[in-house]
Amino acid sequence: MPALDVQQLTKTYKGGFQALKGIDLTVEEGDFFALLGPNGAGKSTFIGILASLVNKTDGSVRVFGEDQDRTPELVKSFIGLVPQEFNFNLFLPVVEVVVNQAGYYGIPRREAKVRAERYLKQLDLWDRRDTEMRKLSGGLKRRLMIARALVHEPRLLILDEPTAGVDIEIRRSMWTFLRELNAGGTTIILTTHYLEEAESLCRHIAIINHGEIAERTSMLTLLNRLNTETFVLNLKGRLSELPQLGGFVLQHLDDCTLEVEMSREHTVNGLFEALSRNGIEVISLRNKQNRLERLFLEMVDRRADAGWSSSDPANAPDAARKVTA
């Protein structure tokens, strides 16, 4: 039974803007699923409908086999939502936010306090339990939103840009936490600004653009579509003239930096052998661009250029380049 089964989901806002144009999407139980798309693609509307914050216009949503229209309370109890925007009563202490949330889900206060302690400790917030929300930093608020979403122990956790604006240390610790949660059986759907995050965490991916699913596949399949990879090499000495290396396209970025584009047929070992033959020594190298980011841009640009389902073709390429996933 899939964790999420969405069929022909549409949403038309007052004024006629069609945010979702008949989305079909299935997420299997236990999956770690990325939902990406440019700004205004319809991700937040989609998530809003799943979480009962947005009224759908048409279509069906089933969560673990339960229809959202027929058993809304049961469906809500399956889902935990970490929204994009902070939505707290800023004057409440941290622990009360979590205990209240448990109460709304029908968990008795005594048990709610036990669970609040467990999740606040797991997310390193227990020491701040009596701090008022408004005194927390952005990163701590993001972690609290995860604790709040987990207190009723949902089977499907939806995270809408959970690491937006948090420093790398907190982001990494949140990744570890989410991986462990997923390993424990919780299905996770993630949207994120950071494509590196999606690539690192998720097993399946859907790209949503102009209210339609542009792609839905496994992360591995998607990344295998990349035929070329580009590296940036920092050289030990100055390089005045570009050598000719068969199978590699070289470009000077400056006297000490070289950009190398190579197809999947070649190996990095082969590249280094060729460079060594030409007396070029390399200090370090890095990928020029995150692989998923590159695919994402290619996919969104291609469809925008083809006039693919764009409500406003004149703006589509610009909109597509705003990679915010």
Partner 1 sequence: MSRQGVGWYRHWISFQTIFIKEILRFTRIWVQTILPSVITTTLYFVIFGRLIGDRIGTMGGLDYLDFIVPGLVLMGVITNAYSNVVSSFYSSKFSRYIEELLVSPAPDWVILAGYVAGGVARGLVVGLAVMLVAMVFTEIRIHSVAVTLLVITMTAVLFALGGFINAVYANSFDDISIVPTFVLTPLTYLGGVFYSIELLPAFWQGVSLANPVLYMVNAFRFGLQGVSDIPVGIAFGIIAIFILVLGAFSLHLLRRGVGIKT
Instruction: By CB under 8 A, name the binding residues for partner 1.
Output: 13, 48, 51-55, 72-74, 76-77, 79, 81, 83, 85-90, 100-101, 103-109, 111, 148, 152-153
Q: Which of residues 149 and 275 has its CB atom nearest to partner 1 in the complex? A: 149
Contact yes or no for 149/116 (Cβ under 8 A): no
Q: Closest separation between CB of residue 86 and partner 1, Å?
A: 8
Q: Which residue has the tokens 């409500």?
A: 311
Q: Closest separation between CB of residue 19 and partner 1, Å?
A: 9
Q: Is 278 left (phi over 0), alpha (psi -120 to 50) or beta?
A: alpha
Contacts of 238 (CB under 8 A, 6+ apart): 255, 256
Q: Closest separation between CB of residue 314 and partner 1, Å?
A: 26
Residue 118 one-letter amino acid:
R
- How many whole angstroms separate alpha carbon 49 and alpha carbon 55? 6
* Count of all residues that appear for the chain in the document: 325
**What 3-state DSSP class applies to 58?**
strand
Q: Closest separation between CB of residue 158 and partner 1, Å?
A: 10
Q: Which of residues 89 and 218 has its CB atom nearest to partner 1 in the complex? A: 89
Q: Which of residues 55 and 284 has its CB atom nearest to partner 1 in the complex? A: 55
What DSSP string runs through 196-256?
HHHHHH-SEEEEEETTEEEEEEEHHHHHHT--EEEEEEEESS---S----TTEEEEEEETT
- How many whole angstroms separate alpha carbon 29 and alpha carbon 294? 29
Q: Closest separation between CB of residue 114 and partner 1, Å?
A: 12
Q: Which of residues 109 and 225 has its CB atom nearest to partner 1 in the complex? A: 109
Q: Which of residues 51 and 166 has its CB atom nearest to partner 1 in the complex? A: 51
Q: Which of residues 89 and 257 has its CB atom nearest to partner 1 in the complex? A: 89
Q: Closest separation between CB of residue 186 and partner 1, Å?
A: 13
